[in-house]
Amino acid sequence: MNERDAGLTPWPEHGSASAPAAPAEPTYVPPNPEPDENIRHSLFGEILDWMLAPLLLLWPMSIAITYLVAKSIANQPFDDA
């Protein structure tokens, strides 16, 4: 058996009189499954991750700060009157 056929099991013979028993293990098992840490992502995906994560944190903070500053500036003339 060569490396290409690793993990494959042969088909049962057609001439067998008894019904084939349920396999104890899956029919196909990848020879060397890749762990999640070794999966390569595209450069575009990595850049998108590094740019969107800070943006999603900073954008709501920026909106809140802008709202509070604008509210204090707008309320100041009414408080003085």
| Structure confidence at residue 71 (pLDDT) | 94
pLDDT band at residue 27, thresholds of 50, 70 and 90? confident
Spans of all domains in the chain: 3-80
d(CA 10, CA 78): 85
pLDDT band at residue 77, thresholds of 50, 70 and 90? confident
| Residue 70 scores a pLDDT above 90 | yes
Instruction: Tell me the pLDDT tens digit for each residue of 43-65.
Output: 998 999 999 999 999 999 999 99
Torsional sign, CA 37, 41, 45, 50: positive
User: What single-letter amino acid sits at 32?
Assistant: N
Vertex 49 angle, CA 46 and 54, to 5°: 140
CB–CB of 7/31 below 8 Å? yes
